[in-house]
């Protein structure tokens, strides 16, 4: 049996379906390039028929990203399959991924089809996709709750029709690992032509078992795992790619398989996706959480210092975390700064380095020591922002016990300086009220999140805001040792994205 497990990343499709996680085309392309650097085997770039924006994003990724297979999702419908091909056809390695439900529950209440009708539709969809490309994946939606005999009939039929990958999804996260493993084993035993296709799995995390179910499937012969960075996805999310990959790597003697993932780029990829989507990674998250390699217990510290392996089953370096002793502070020069960010995996132009370095020097005046997390936040805040329509020049906020907080904000709007004063329920609210007056924007703020990037009283604070207009969510981020300043930056960043969207829509 093949000892390579393919990693199919669906962050840009299923992951983006998480509420509040939508990305624009430029952000999707950035993530796709990072996934290619991570060496995922397949990037599911989106659902092309879903919207013109989705179609354009998939097409641009297909045109610009080389290395992985670029895949477009399609229902078992003519318009979906045709749109998927039009979107991915310029890829170096294009794939069409078509699906239809196979559980009686979905057939009866959602599709209103008989089993035979669904079987014929599945075969038809694969045959139509095969007219465009030799790389066709078929998914039996809600496979984990499907009748096993019927599911095996469908799998056999679609392989005969030309499917080269068959996906067995646990669409609603219902399965238990032992049960799901037996299902994969049964398909391998009962489908005579199964060797002609790769068995894939796509597990959701509704019971917290997505990674466990995926690994049980690998143990029973699945050779493609569909997953997302940080476990993003519908409802409780998907199997987390970093957890699946590091489990396979750490327990190689148990699984007897490997992946092609460049694991040293895992942490950087996790942070990029978190920054772009605004979905914070919980501190105790496996592999990529802030506490994943932190030790506070005295007993743990003692054991760790005597022998690292006593309390660490993998090294921080294996996922791209640096244990460098190079201290970054106010005496560091431009050359040291460039060297450090290149070690962290960033490749910036001279102009971008200069902008980031100026921010770094300002930050180092406020902090005794600059950590990698500070630099990551700084680069995300300074380098990867779109051109500002609204530019924050200065702000001051006053909060005195017994008095209503007030703030004064000065900004540039399309280059013109504007200054406003306002009051609020707190200093941040007062600053936001002044910004609203300056930008004349009443779109509701639907999310405000604060986290400390590093420890200590001089830590940088990172703020994430979410502003809503209609069905669109615009995510803003800001980092500063002054949490009110970070809050202002994050809000202005979100409003800039909103205003860019409005102006682009007006042009269209």
- 353 and 394, same domain (yes or no): no
SS3 401: coil
C-alpha dihedral over 148, 152, 155, 158, to 10 degrees?
A: -120
How far apart CA 74 and CA 122 sit, in angstroms, is: 12
Same domain, 428 and 347: no
Helices (H), 96-197: 104-106, 115-130, 148-161, 177-190
Last residue of a domain, one of 213, 247, 277: 277
Q: Please say if the pLDDT value at position 323 is more than 60.
A: no
Structural domain count of the chain: 4
Q: Which of 21-30, 111-120, 286-295, 298-307 is predicted least confidently?
A: 298-307
If asked whether residues 311 and 204 sit together in one domain, one would say: no
Query: The domain spanning residue 401 has which CATH number?
Result: 3.30.160.270
Segments forming the whole domain that contains residue 113: 6-277
pLDDT digits (tens, 9 = 90+) for 38-49: 999 999 999 999
Same domain, 70 and 200: yes
End-of-domain residue from the set 243, 277, 311: 277
Spatial separation of the C-alpha atoms in residues 380 and 30, rounded to whole Å? 12
At residue 267, the pLDDT reads: 93
Same domain, 307 and 271: no
Average confidence (pLDDT) over 160-165: 98
Joined tokens for residue 422: 């306002």
Which pLDDT band holds residue 299 (cuts at 50, 70, 90)? low
Strands 6-9 and 42-46: parallel
Give the Å distances, CA to CA, from 9 to 199, 201, 224, 233, 507.
Answer: 15, 12, 10, 11, 34
Q: Is residue 285 part of a domain?
A: no
Average pLDDT on 476-487 reads 89
Q: What is the mean pLDDT of the chain?
A: 90
Q: How confident is the model at residue 326 (pLDDT cuts 50, 70, 90)?
A: very low
Task: Give the confidence band of 274 by pLDDT, cuts at 50, 70, 90.
Answer: very high
Does a structural domain hold residue 117? yes
Mean of the pLDDT values across residues 492-497? 91
Query: Which pLDDT does position 61 carry in this prediction?
Result: 98
If asked whether residues 144 and 200 sit together in one domain, one would say: yes
Domain contains 403: yes
The closest alpha carbon to 168, from 191, 189, 196, 146, belongs to 146
Residues 364 and 416 in one domain: no
Any domain includes 452: yes
The rounded distance, in Å, linking the Cα atoms of 129 and 138 is 10
Does residue 287 belong to any structural domain of this protein? no
* Average pLDDT rounded to a whole number, residues 373-394: 77
Can you give the pLDDT at residue 329? 63
Q: By three-state DSSP, how is residue 103 classified?
A: coil
Six token digits for residue 312: 């660490």
CA–CA distance, 80 with 47 (Å, rounded to integer): 9
Indicate whether 467 and 452 sit together in one domain: yes
Name the residue among 448, 400, 405 with its Cα closest to residue 425. Answer: 405
pLDDT for the residue 324? 38
User: What does the alpha-carbon distance between residue 61 and residue 95 come to, in Å, rounded to a whole number?
Assistant: 13
Q: Which residue has the higher pLDDT, 455 or 261?
A: 261
Alpha-carbon distance values, 54 to 16, 44, 216, 366 (Å): 11, 12, 33, 43
- Per-residue pLDDT for 458 more than 70? no
3-class DSSP assignment, residue 137: strand
Q: In sequence order, what are the beta bridge partners of 258?
A: 4
| Higher-confidence position of 378 and 481 | 481
pLDDT of residue 434: 96
Smallest Cα–Cα separation from 70: which of 55, 80, 79, 58?
Answer: 58
pLDDT for res 392: 94
Are 371 and 413 part of one and the same domain? no
Q: How confident is the model at residue 367 (pLDDT cuts 50, 70, 90)?
A: low
| Cβ atoms of residues 41 and 260 within 8 Å | yes
CATH number of the domain at 26, please: 3.20.20.70
Tell me whether residue 259 is in a domain. Answer: yes
Instruction: Look up the pTM and report it.
Output: 0.76
Residue found under tokens 């922002």: 385
Residue 181, C-beta contacts closer than 8 angstroms, at least 6 positions apart: 216, 217, 219, 220
Contact 318, 292 (CB under 8 A): no
Condensed to tens digits (0 to 9), the pLDDT of residues 219-268 reads 999 999 999 999 999 999 999 999 999 999 999 999 999 999 999 999 99
Q: CA angle at residue 474 from 27 to 423, to 5 degrees?
A: 140
Pair 430, 406: CB distance under 8 Å = yes
Sheet holding 445-452, edge to edge: 445-452, 461-469, 472-480
Q: Flag whether 233 is in a domain.
A: yes
**Mean pLDDT, to the nearest integer, of 1-5?**
85
Nearest to 96 by CA among 47, 140, 56: 47
> Are 259 and 303 found together in one domain?
no
pLDDT cut 90: percent of the chain above it = 66
Nearest to 75 by CA among 126, 113, 112, 114: 126
Residue 252 in any domain: the answer is yes
Do 172 and 304 reside in the same domain of the chain?
Answer: no
Kindly state the helix (H) or strand (E) to which residue 452 belongs, with its residue range: strand 445-452
- For the chain, give the percent of residues with pLDDT over 70: 91
Do 202 and 297 lie in one domain? The reply is no
Q: What's the token pair of residue 18?
A: 């998480």
Band (pLDDT 50/70/90 cuts) for residue 296 is very low
Torsions phi, psi for 169 (to 5 deg): -85, 145
């Amino acid at each position: 049996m093949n000892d390579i497990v393919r990693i199919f990343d669906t962050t840009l499709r299923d992951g983006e379906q998480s509420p509040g996680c939508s990305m624009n085309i430029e952000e999707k392309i950035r993530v796709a390039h990072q996934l290619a650097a991570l060496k995922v085997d397949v990037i599911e770039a989106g659902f092309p028929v879903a919207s013109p924006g989705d179609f354009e994003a998939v097409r641009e990724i297909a045109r610009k990203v080389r290395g992985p297979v670029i895949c477009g999702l399609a229902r078992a419908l003519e318009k979906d399959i045709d749109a998927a091909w039009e979107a991915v056809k310029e890829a170096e390695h294009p794939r069409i991924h078509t699906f239809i439900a196979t559980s009686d529950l979905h057939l009866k209440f959602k599709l209103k089809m008989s089993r035979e009708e669904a079987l014929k539709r599945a075969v038809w969809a694969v045959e139509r996709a095969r007219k465009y490309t030799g790389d066709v994946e078929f998914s039996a939606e809600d496979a984990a709750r499907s009748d096993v005999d019927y599911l095996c009939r469908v799998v056999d039929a679609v392989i005969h029709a030309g499917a080269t990958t068959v996906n067995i999804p646990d669409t609603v996260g219902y399965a238990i690992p032992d049960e799901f493993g037996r299902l994969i084993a049964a398909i391998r035993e009962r489908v005579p032509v199964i060797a002609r296709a790769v068995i894939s799995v796509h597990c959701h995390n509704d019971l917290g078992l997505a990674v466990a179910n995926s690994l049980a499937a690998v143990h029973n012969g699945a050779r493609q795992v569909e997953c997302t960075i940080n476990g993003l996805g519908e409802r409780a999310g998907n199997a987390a790619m970093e957890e699946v990959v590091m489990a396979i790597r750490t327990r190689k003697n148990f699984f007897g398989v490997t992946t092609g993932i460049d694991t040293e780029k895992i942490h950087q990829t996790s942070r990029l996706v978190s920054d772009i989507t605004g979905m914070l990674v919980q501190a105790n998250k496996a592999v990529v959480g802030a506490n994943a390699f932190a030790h506070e217990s005295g007993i743990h510290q003692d054991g760790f210092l005597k022998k690292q392996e006593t309390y660490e089953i993998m090294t921080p370096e294996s996922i791209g975390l640096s244990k460098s002793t190079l201290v970054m502070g106010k005496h560091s020069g431009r050359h040291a700064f460039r060297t450090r960010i290149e070690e962290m995996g960033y490749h910036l132009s001279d102009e971008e380095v200069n902008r980031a370095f100026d921010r770094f020097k300002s930050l180092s005046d406020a902090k005794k020591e600059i950590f990698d997390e500070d630099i990551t936040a700084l680069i995300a805040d300074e380098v990867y922002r779109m051109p500002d329509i609204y530019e924050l020049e200065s702000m001051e906020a006053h909060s005195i016990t017994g008095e209503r907080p007030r703030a004064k904000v000065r900004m540039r709007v399309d280059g013109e300086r504007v200054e406003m004063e306002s009051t609020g329920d707190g200093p941040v609210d007062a600053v936001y009220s002044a910004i609203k007056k300056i930008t004349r924007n009443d779109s509701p703020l639907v999310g405000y999140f604060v986290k400390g990037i590093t420890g200590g009283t001089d830590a940088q604070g990172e703020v994430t805001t979410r502003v809503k207009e209609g069905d669109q969510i615009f995510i803003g981020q800001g980092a500063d040792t002054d949490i009110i300043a970070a809050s202002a930056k994050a809000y202005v960043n979100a409003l800039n994205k909103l205003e860019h969207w409005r102006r682009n829509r007006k042009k269209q």
